[in-house]
Amino acid sequence: MLKRSVVAAIVAVVLVPGLTRAQAARDYISIVGSSTVFPFSAVVAEHFGKSQPKFKTPKVESTGTGGGFKVFCGGIGAAYPDIANASRRIKDSEIDLCAKNGVKDIVEVKIGYDGILIAAKKGAPAYAITRKDLYLALAKEVPDPRNPTALVANPYKTWKQVDPALPAVAINVFGPAPNHGTRDAFAELALEPGCSELPALKALKAKDEDAYKRTCTQIREDGAWTDVSEDYALVMGKLASNTQALAVFTFSYLDQNREKLSAATVDGKVISIDSIADGSYPLARPLYFYVKKAHVGVIPGIKEFIAEFSSDKAMGQDGYLVERGLIPLHASEFAAVRRDVAALKPYRP
């Protein structure tokens, strides 16, 4: 009679093509992706490890949303992550990459909401910014101030040149690097709506939508914007030494650093739990994680981990993730998410 360990290895190989016996020995959940979702996922992993002694604590890595999907979609098998955290919804191109590499059934789990924050060091001048201001200040190309029908490399050097009501200080913003979902969300929620307010760009959209999208979402590369790939804590040091700089953070980070940061209003709205939850804050966005269904039942503990993550005690109105800054789902959304998670319902665009 075959020993149980040998049987388990054979079953794993049958269930997941390309999974070797050595790879099948991985006995912990591998999670990659969004730096925004990372702290929430890490807290759930810690709770899971303590409450489920028969499973190992999951390994959670902060790689950025785009970088996480690239690895997650690399293939099926224990050499690849089981779960990808994301601060935006998975793109069609990423779904195509997954499918190309045999990752066909992916379970989407919306965990709650967050907001993108524009902030300065506490005590710095207050900013009342519009999305149009953000586009004009930070886009790579903008309409020529002397000839609005033509596009030129961004000529604006100070916020006051963008809008006379803003401070006469240099445009100097620290923001997420291209591999971060927050960068994609900032472009989608802030730059593109601001861009769409300009007549010349409306005309471009009617003529060439791809060119419009590119123009509206590309961030300038002349030093006014500085990519941040590392921990946000490093940005705090930059702000401490430059009271005129701004930075793009997430609300959960503000919630833990209110004594250090001064939040700008966006389109007249103050970022708060209520304004994110009711959708009135214009830079609010949902957060997700994605599960490789083929790994459920093969890598131990995945089903139990996602049950812990989607539980009322974690994601609910009074859950421990809400205490960490997550804005909870509305009751009807939460119920739908839990139903889909329990059924491991594959995501369909």
Whether the per-residue pLDDT at 143 is higher than 60: the answer is yes
Whether the per-residue pLDDT at 8 is higher than 60: the answer is no
Q: Which domains does the chain have, with CATH numbers?
A: 4-113+287-342 (3.40.190.10), 115-284 (3.40.190.10)
Its pTM stands at 0.81
Helices (H), the chain: 4-15, 38-51, 65-72, 92-100, 131-138, 159-162, 181-186, 192-195, 199-207, 209-217, 232-241, 251-256, 273-277, 302-309, 312-315, 331-342
pLDDT of residue 228: 84
Amino acid at the residue 142? V
Over range 51-65, report the average pLDDT. 94
pLDDT of residue 231: 64
Coil/strand/helix, residue 346: strand
Name the pLDDT band for 141 (thresholds 50, 70, 90): very high
Q: ∠294-297-302 over CA atoms, to 5°? A: 90
pLDDT of residue 182: 87
Q: How far is CA 81 from the centre of its chain?
A: 18
pLDDT of residue 230: 60
